Amino acid sequence: MSAVDGKVISRPWKPRIGILSEYDHANLKFAAEHGFTSIGLFADRGAVLDVTTQLPDTRIEQIRTAIDDSKLYVSVLGAYQINHTAEDASERARNNAYFRNVIQLAGKLRIPFVGTGSGKMLGKNLADQVAEIARVYEREYFSACQENKVRILWEPWAGGPNVATGPVGYEALFKAFGSSPYVGLQYDPSHLVWQMIDPIQTARDFAPKIYDVHLKDTEIRWPVLRKVGIYPWNNDEWWRFRIPGSGCVDWRALFTVLMEAGYSGAMNIENEDDLYGTRYEGRVFTSSFKDGFLVAKQYLEQFVAW
């Protein structure tokens, strides 16, 4: 469905549903065999797809062949630990060079989006930060985006080097970047929930800027929160990430917003639910981690046709 002039137009809603994962042939095989149709991959430093030095063409061809054989759509390459506007000049230069390599790898693998945070400078007001972010992206990244047909997407992770953490940051950034075709949002409602931001209204307000979606939930542990507040003395966990359906996100309402907006991109389950145990053995999913993806899939099937 999509909304035009307030009228809802019905049409099949078939977004791609997948998972987020470290690159490995076994992980691709798991996703494909269990009916997922997309995948997002990580390219942070220390990940399997670490691009501190550019990967050899032979390695890239191996990866591309494995992806093609899996028949999965790779929607995004994520690099979230990078501060694009680090205050130390040498650190910033290293980070900018690394991220250009991520963009180039995405292009070579025919991946349309790169997920990240916006960049952040401690002690600076929002207007100054946004101006610097826009300047750095224009100088360091946009020619690579154009060459590789890649768009940079901001995830609302408030724990990282990022000012794109919710509506205020979004508004400032999109005003600064104007009609640039090289930036957008990677929407993750879980990060908004623990910030006490309404993820449904935010999705409605910024739907045209959403190009990729993370399916992750957040549980607010109200008995703990009412006792310790949001700044607990002993680091009591008053919120935690969960698989979809085990937290506070109103998935029916969120999917309705995306349906009405005509969203047709990928939606990848991000399993950071510690109740499903250790995530990897080496770089391959553990059996308990796989269970988390499958339980989430079963829950989501009531809302989304596979």
At 9 the pLDDT is 52
Q: Supply the pLDDT for residue 3.
A: 54
Query: Residue 91's pLDDT is what?
Result: 98
pTM, entire model: 0.95
CATH of domain 2-300: 3.20.20.150
CA 144 – CA 151 distance, rounded (Å): 10
- Confidence (pLDDT) at 305: 84
Q: What is the pLDDT of residue 14?
A: 87
How many CA atoms lie less than 13 Å away from 8 in the CB half-sphere? 9
DSSP the chain: -EEETTEEE------EEEEEE---HHHHHHHHHTT--EEEEE-STTSTT--SSPPPHHHHHHHHHHHHHHT-EEEEEE--S--TT-SSHHHHHHHHHHHHHHHHHHHHTT--EEEE-----TT--HHHHHHHHHHHHHHHTHHHHHHHT-EEEE---TTSS-S-SSHHHHHHHHHHHTT-TTEEEEE-HHHHHHTT--HHHHHHHHGGGEEEEEE-EEEE-HHHHHHH-SS-TT---SEEEE-TTSSS--HHHHHHHHHHBT--SEEEE----GGG---EETTEE-HHHHHHHHHHHHHHTTTS--
Domain ranges of the chain: 2-300
pLDDT tens per residue across all 306 residues of the chain: 455 555 555 667 889 999 999 999 999 999 999 999 999 999 999 999 999 999 999 999 999 999 999 999 999 999 999 999 999 999 999 999 999 999 999 999 999 999 999 999 999 999 999 999 999 999 999 999 999 999 999 999 999 999 999 999 999 999 999 999 999 999 999 999 999 999 999 999 999 999 999 999 999 999 999 999 999 999 999 999 999 999 999 999 999 999 999 999 999 999 999 999 999 999 999 999 999 999 999 999 999 987
